[in-house]
A and B are shown apart, each in its own frame.
Chain A
Amino acid sequence: MTDLKNKAARKSGFNRRDFFRGSGAIAAATALQTQTAEAIQNQSPRVISGETSISLNVNGKDHQVKVAPNTTLLDALRYQLDLTGAKPVSSDGSSGASTVFVDGKPMTASTILALQAVGKKIETVESLGADAVQKAFVKHDAEQCGFCTPGFVMAVRSLLDKKPNASKEEIRGGLNGNICRCGTYANIVEAAISVAKGGN
């Protein structure tokens, strides 16, 4: 392990067929700047530019939305489906306020392109409906202004889905992707513990 930088190696075991497969699916790539619109259209159908109509599966239903490649999932949810539970707080997802489930996993809709969500199962806070976590939040007063609350509800739901009997330490260690400015953390911990213990 002495000379890290000069180690060259070749690995076997990769399936070369995987690598070749599909090569023909796209017309010979040309430099982007020389492409005409026509050329782009003649390329793989998977190259999308400009506004396009897609179907998003949100909260168990398919919805037609119009998006451009640079439309985020969050904007599609909030502006087109009027599902405003997920909130725009940080552009880079660092607040967790836009948390939704994508195929069951907690992700920030603000950093996902709407096009990436095609074919995925999207669930927003609106889909939970009187979930035990939501009831526990109310009972333990785990919301103040409430703006971060839907994101936190989703995070707690996700944590407890993964670890239904999470301990206090696991709860404290597992909910750090969200930010609350009013300072509801103590009550969120209590709410999560109560659900983990089977009640609310």
Chain B
Amino acid sequence: MKAFEYASPRTEAEIVDLLSAEPGKTEILAGGTDLVGLMKKMIVTPDRVVNIMDVPTLRSIDELPDGSVSIGAAVTLDDVLAHPYIDIYPAIKQAIRGISSMQLQAQGTLGGEVCQRPRCWFYRNGDGLLSPDVAEGANEFHAILGNSGPAKFVNSSRIAPALIALDAQLRVVGPEEDEQFVPVAAFFRSPHREGQREHVLEPNQFVSHILLPPIEGRTCATYEVRHGEGPDYPLAAAAAALQFDGFGIVRDANVVLGQVAPMPWISQEAADVLRGRKVDEALAETAGQAAVSRATPLSQNEFKVQLAKVAVKRAILLAAGYETGGF
């Protein structure tokens, strides 16, 4: 790790004051499970690290007057998992359980999970986030959707698809009392040049809270295709949130894929298939197919198209209360 200075503020305002407006100069440190490794490998080299774990307001889970649940960005994943408020959002719990490591769950935070850097080995080995070598290189685990630009990596967050499917928002805090509420769906972006972040935050803004709107009768699920046990990232994943009418017909649906594109991938096509229909295996399969209809696999990752399709199908089946038929 490069030498840096360390600050451990106690309030949100102090955090903002400690952040630099210049990219790369300061980093937010929460659980450290991603950042510390990146700093050790000199991929991330800030001048100052701002530890947000001692800010009490970022460490609680609360119900807001409108029935939303607010989760502080520095709440650890195991605390999210154990909290009764989250019981009604199984998609979130399934995603956290997928991170099958007690250490990562105890140490990692929800904010950190959403803001983690891509687990792309070109990036992690120092070749940059947008290495031109990816297209014809070792891209087995790279993007199959949204990969026409320079970004071929996949967004690594395992919880973001569920958050998006549930219409969650992020409370973003910045200088001069700037407070914004950003839908998670609008938080991520695909960078076009090296140095650009994978989200819309300014360097001196940070995510303070994750806001889950009331469940309002929706059902939801996350399904990950995982090669094996452990914290390793899934090969493909999907989250679905479904709103049924009184007759088992899908009134509305959100389907979001993970690990397949530089951003969590919102599939309008899959949602369109579901709306107005009754969920069964065939419909879920059709929705899965629709979700990958525009896939453009790279030289080594054609297989991920099938996995993404299955992930969508199984997430929908789970959300509708069915068995997946697979592992």
Contacts and interface: CB of A to CB of B under 8 A. Distances in A.
Interface of A: 1-2, 4-15, 18-23, 25-26, 28-29, 31-33, 40, 44, 46-50, 68-70, 72, 91-94, 96, 99, 102, 105-108, 110-113, 115-116, 155, 158-159, 173-177, 179
Interface stretch (B44-52, B288-296, B316-324): B44-52
B106 A105 contact: yes
15 contacts: A7-B186, A13-B66, A19-B173, A20-B177, A26-B9, A47-B7, A49-B6, A68-B3, A69-B49, A111-B32, A113-B51, A116-B51, A159-B102, A175-B102, A176-B101
B241 interface: yes
A112 B36 contact: yes
A174 B8 CA distance: 32
Contacts of B17: 23, 26, 28-29
B11 interface: yes
Contacts of A115: 6, 8, 51
B13 A173 contact: no
Contact of A93 (B20, B37, B230, B252): B37
B123 interface: no
B253 A113 contact: no
Residue in B25, B34, B78, B101 whose Cβ sees the most chain A Cβ within 10 Å: B101
A19 B1 contact: no
Interface string B84-104: 000000000000000011111
A10 B181 contact: yes
Nearest to A47: B7
Contacts of B39: 70
Interface residues of B, number: 77
Contact of B107 (A18, A28, A94, A107): A107
A14 B179 contact: yes
Q: Is the interface of B mostly helix, strand, loop or mixed?
A: mixed
Contacts of A4: 164, 167, 183, 185-186, 254, 266
A11 B102 contact: no
Given A113-B32, A158-B102, 15 more contacts: A5-B186, A12-B65, A15-B57, A20-B177, A46-B14, A91-B37, A94-B101, A99-B103, A107-B106, A108-B103, A108-B107, A111-B31, A113-B36, A116-B29, A177-B100
